[in-house]
Structure 1
Amino acid sequence: MARPGASGSPDTIRGFSRERLARIKGAMEREAERGSFPGCVTLIARDGEIVHLEAYGHQDAARTRAMPLDAIFLQASMTKPMTSAAAMMLVEEGRMKLGDPITNWMPELRELKVEQRREGQAAEDVALARPVTVQDLLRHTAGFIYANSAPTPRLKELYDQHNIEAREGPITGEEMIRRLGTIPLAHQPGTTFHYSISTDVLGILLERVSGQSLATLFQERLTGPLGMKDTTWFVAPDKRSRLAEAPTTDPQTAPMWRSYRILEDEAGRSYFKGGAGLVSTAQDYFRFAQMIANGGVFEGRRYLAAPVVNYMLSNHTQGMAGSPTASTGPGYGFGLGFGIRLQDGLAVAPGSTGDAMWAGAWGTSFTIDRAEGLVAILMAQGPTARVQTRMLFKNVVYGAMVESKRMPA
């Protein structure tokens, strides 16, 4: 892995202005001062070379320890792209197809209904127009939801009552899927993008398809071979001193911390959250993101076929209701595990048509812009300010890029 400053003129490195890269410090320190997060780590790479890797502010909420470069951050939904990549590995091997009904492996969901809502009429549960497929899980068009985004109070109550998201304590994958099978879908499959527990369901499905736990599947296929030594589902005692903290003043910190439980090894007691459960570092996550940017290969080892990566990074929600705007801002569709920019313009931060991004509820985010050879990663823990900080980060990244591959210099 190339180190920052390995190439470039005195003024630029891989088309980034050194002076403008230095401005990131002020932007991030201002965010820390305003309470968005105690501190953060930022990483920018171009053409596989890291041109910027810095830590700012403090690791702890009390602001007594400087943020280290190898700080460990809760990834939340930045787990989803990795689970999606693992799923496509099994698709490549012929272990499953995207069009397969998930009930092939999850018979507990065979009696699913859909809550049909019509203005002025009481809701009723109706039959599915078609089965939920593996592709639906990958693109959040299955009809599942998160409780906090439920379209009706009834669905929210059912998700909460049955502890579907494991927020109230451990629940095994088998029990979660059994309970989920008793709750109506919010939408007919394949009609609506609704960000949801779909990737958690996908993680349990991968365990059934592969015959391995999700932790073992990741270790053997992704985190182990990629050298992501700090990317895990459980933070061992000898690494806890490196955990980055969120502000104690953030109203989301305490309830979220209770539901993530990364200090407990819940193997066998609760399902591994394929949509939210990992912790990682900036340098670890770079290795995964760069593999995707490279079309499925990293440091000489191929993980996914290039056409499969291209397929994942295309829009799979065209013509459907709903959008990932709450996470991406306007101008994005959704592929298989990634938000995908649909065209130049519309978006609220710079980028390229086809760039891929995603983010986590704790404050982490990344951008993969293959047109510019760019991978950019923000590691921070600040739930309430997360949209503000992810967009600000994109602005300062592109603001430092003075040479574009898309137009003459």
Structure 2
Amino acid sequence: MTITRRQLAFSALGSTFLAGCASTPAVPRTMVSADRLARIAPALDAQVGIGTFAGAVSLVAQDGKIVHHEAVGFLDAAKTRPMPRDAIFRLASMTKPITSVATMMLAEQGQLKINDPVTNWLPEFKNLKVETPQGDVALARPITVQDLLMHTAGLVYGPASPSPRIAKMYAELNIESLETDISGDEMLKRLGTIPLLYQPGTTWFYSIATDVLGLLLERVSGKRLDVLTQELLLGPLGMTDTAWWVPPAKRARLAETLDSDPLKAAMLRAYRQDSDPAPRQYLKGGAGLVGTGADYLKFAQMVLNGGTDGRTRYLSRKTTEFMLSDHLVGKAGVPNATTGPGYGFGLGWGVRLYDGVGWTPGSTGDAMWAGAWGTSFWIDPRERLAGVLMAQCPSNRIHTRMLYKNLVYGAVS
């Protein structure tokens, strides 16, 4: 039997944990330094000065207490209005962890299992094929709910597809609704005619899988995705500024991207969030939310707490541990483009496999994800730490999220 490097790492981690329970003295509890946290705002403000983003909001919590919450720079691209702490940001793919948690909540309620074939609710996928050099072939097994959670369904984001044929079909059939609207039913019908890039369950490839998952949740629950997530998570957690669009009364708080960012125009066309999207197009479970940093920290802290905010239990501790475990053992593909090296993938986010290897400090078992507009978050169970960075800088998003993690981990003593 072949033992992978990933398996060895987690075997060693488990052995260390058991040995520690038996005889090793407790490790001193680490804390974050207020003096070092004070370096974050000036460092982010320096990024404003060089044109990385117009402004940003950052939050750090340890042991469930906010130890840093700052706003720097400007809300608007013209740099005339100071950035407020309650600014609203386009979350993009930071929507994915929320949709993933909602999925596991329905699983705990018995409404679905993650090994269920998605065709139980999405009959549009019954005749899917897989593209190969020899031609399109039948699926070796059906796509499961877990494949959607893990990005191992064989789906893609069209512009990133290594197959020109699949990329062209995604564009021509308007699968991602990049510039014009399309209903969920019509999107699924069209997507069911496009071959998969890989056999389900074999390869991690970042994709519209979570958008499809959101549509599946609508059919499982019989509710629109906005209604479902409001009932399950956003409402009970008090995420009052998190929604699928920005109403007129809150539009003055929407953070803007600098006009110099070359991705701004195309992304604004793709993220049409100035009115309720549901009557005209499908709600994107993988990219559709807007919200504040304080709101998102409530969600991140709940996951860090093992599925509870101290008042309400959203997930069991075991389900939360399951979601935060690496599920890519034996599969090809890694999420390096978002996380940097050294990460596997759980159910909805990247999961760090080693203390080393990555581009920033961190801990084995920390979990993170980020959005194309420039937002990012992570939780570190070992350090009891959560960090959230809100910025709108699509062209600089990798640089910004790694810089921020360096700043926060530089405050851990």
Q: Same fold judged by TM-score > 0.5? A: yes
Among 215, 223, 231, the alignment partner of 1:220 is 231
Partner Cα distance (1:345, 1:380) in 2 = 27
Q: Give the CA deviation at 1:264.
A: 2.0
> Which of 62, 67, 71 in structure 2 is aligned with 1:55?
71
CA contact (8 A) 2:30 2:383 kept: no
Cα distance in 1 between the residues matched to 2:371 and 2:31: 28
Deviation at 1:14, TM superposition (A): 7.8
Which of 316, 341, 363 aligns to 2:352? It is 341
In the alignment, does 2:273 pair up with 1:257?
no
Among 4, 25, 28, which residue is 2:44 paired with? 28
Deviations 1:193-216 (A, max 9, x none): 000000000000000000000000
Task: Give the deviation of 1:168 after TM superposition.
Answer: 2.0
Corresponding position of 2:170: 159
Q: Distance in 2 between matches of 1:17 and 1:225?
A: 32
Q: Give the aligned partner of residue 315 of structure 2.
A: 304
SS in 1 for 2:234: helix
Deviation at 1:322, TM superposition (A): 0.8
Counterpart residue type for residue 199 of structure 1: T
Bigger share in helix:
2
Give the distance between the partners of 1:225 and 1:183, measured in 2 at CA. 39
| Matching residue's letter, 2:247 | A
Gaps of 5+ in 2: 1-28
For 1:82, the equivalent position in structure 2 comes to: 98
What is the match of residue 289 of structure 1?
300
**1:374 is matched with which residue?**
385
Distance 1:26 1:181 in 2: 50
Aligned equivalents of 2:412, 2:58: Cα separation in 1: 15
Residue aligning to 2:286: 275
* Structure 1 unaligned regions, length at least 5: 1-12, 118-122, 403-409
Q: CA offsets per residue over residues 103-147 of structure 1, 9 Å max, x none?
A: 010101100000013xxxxx5110000000000000000000001
Look up the equivalent residue of 1:23 and give its one-letter code. R
Q: Report SS of the residue matched to 2:379.
A: strand
Residue 148 in structure 1 maps to residue 159 in structure 2: yes
Aligned mates of 1:17, 1:181 — CA distance in 2: 53
- Partner of 2:136, secondary structure, is strand
CA distance in 1, matches of 2:36, 2:140: 53
Where 2:67 maps in the other structure, the secondary structure is: strand
SS in 1 for 2:395: coil
**Superposition deviation, residue 30 in structure 1:** 1.4
1:197 pairs with one of 208, 216, 221: 208
What SS class does the counterpart of residue 298 from structure 1 fall into?
coil
Aligned to 1:209: 220
Q: Distance in 2 between matches of 1:368 and 1:310?
A: 13
Output the CA distance in 1 between the equivalents of 2:398 and 2:137: 36
Partner in structure 1 of residue 191 of structure 2: 180
Q: Deviations over 1:208-258 (max 9, x none)?
A: 000000000011110000000000001000000000001111010110011
Tell me if structure 2 keeps the 8 A contact 1:327–1:387: yes
SS at match of 1:302: coil
User: Which residue of structure 1 lines up, in the alignment, with residue 246 of structure 2?
Assistant: 235
Correspondence for 2:4 = none
Q: Which amino acid aligns with 1:193?
A: W
Query: Given residue 229 of structure 2, which amino acid in structure 1 is its aligned partner?
Result: F
1:122-181, Cα deviation, whole Å (9 max, x unpaired): x51100000000000000000000012101111110000111111121111100000000
Q: Paired residue for 1:326? A: 337
1:393 corresponds to which letter in structure 2? Y
Equivalent position of 2:363 in the other structure: 352
Moved more, 18-27 or 281-290: 18-27
Q: Which residue of 1 aligns with 2:124?
A: 108
- Runs of 4+ off more than 4 Å: none
SS at match of 1:357: strand
CA distance in 2, matches of 1:258, 1:351: 36
- Pick the aligned partner of 1:95 from 111, 114, 123: 111
For residue 9 of structure 1, what is the aligned residue in structure 2?
A: none
Alpha-carbon contact 1:14-1:46 (below 8 Å) kept: no
